[in-house]
Amino acid sequence: MENLLQIKNLTVHYNMETSVVEAVNDISLDIKRGETLGLVGETGAGKTTTALAIMGLLQKARAEIISGEIFLNGESLLDKSAKAMQKIRGDKVSMIFQDPMTALNPVLTVGEQIAEVVRLHEKCSRAEAAARAKEMLETVGIPSYRYKEYPHQFSGGMKQRVVIAIALACSPDLLIADEPTTALDVTIQAQVLELMKEQIQKRDMSVIMITHDLGVVAEICDKCAVMYAGEIVEYGTVEDVLDYPTHPYTRNLLNSLPSIDGEIKKLQPIEGAVSDPTNLPPYCSFQNRCKECMERCTEGNPKLVEVAPGHWSKCFQHYKESEAEK
């Protein structure tokens, strides 16, 4: 399969008044057509910044893309003008934002907000756009007669369904879902995930699923990338990363999860805090929290090493004498 999305050596910084936040540091990713990638890691790892860079939605006053390239269907997104990106967003690539409470315009009906996306990207009348919007409401499990209702008349789970309808209205090639179930209760989470899984398969989309929930990754994703302090520290198929984790951080994440089969009697939290993004060390950022660290870990920053075919890990433990690097 050919690559739909390619990210090459992307680095993004936020220029604050007294400091520089190194949010994303030299990451590279490929996503093939029809493939779902899970992007996981603690808060502040750089997951949402990566998504906003793809969408062209970084705040220009603060954010700066220091280096790197982003290609969608072989076309460079970073070379596009603001007007060109408006045509791409919602049509070729869409995003489900984290908080449905703030993602919707409170003074427009939900139907108008879905129809607006259709009118922007497809040549059709207002009546045709309204019909498509009603169809999308039905698709996400909302009766079409609620077309003229406002966001405040919907529950949190229903709002998230509307946001999903907006994102899917023009059948994008790439869907970015930024923690789409975080604001929902457990029962509604399961319903929304099942809806997303069904639509992903039906539309054969490529998806970036940003989440803290490794269970979601295991259920929906084909591949998994683990981010820490703005870097990808482990990458591979879901089976490789979750069943055979090779980076200490990934193993720590998995050990901190509860187990329903009783194998883990006591959770093992990751001690310490994520490195300050305004003052990242010139060596491994996880070194201060890693129980497996070596003297070498403070002498330099390791590169991604292929520990098995298609399975990469960023740790000095995997360096051979030849120190083959990516």
- Return the closest-CA partner of residue 70 out of 2, 1, 10, 3: 10
Query: What is the per-residue pLDDT across 50-89, written as a single tens digit (0 to 9) for each?
Result: 999 999 999 988 999 999 999 999 999 999 999 999 999 9
Domains along the chain with CATH numbers: 3-92+172-318 (3.40.50.300), 101-171 (no CATH)
pLDDT confidence of residue 157: 87
Q: At 158, is the secondary structure helix, strand, or coil?
A: helix
Query: What is the per-residue pLDDT across 142-192, written as a single tens digit (0 to 9) for each?
Result: 999 999 999 999 998 899 899 999 999 998 999 999 988 776 777 888 888
Instruction: Report the distance separating Cα 112 and Cα 167, nearest Å.
Output: 14
Instruction: Report the distance separating Cα 151 and Cα 67, nearest Å.
Output: 39
The 3-class secondary structure across 278-326, one letter per residue, is: CCCCCCCCCHHHCCCCCHHHHCCCCCCEEEECCEEECCHHHCCCCCCCC
pTM, rounded to two decimals: 0.90
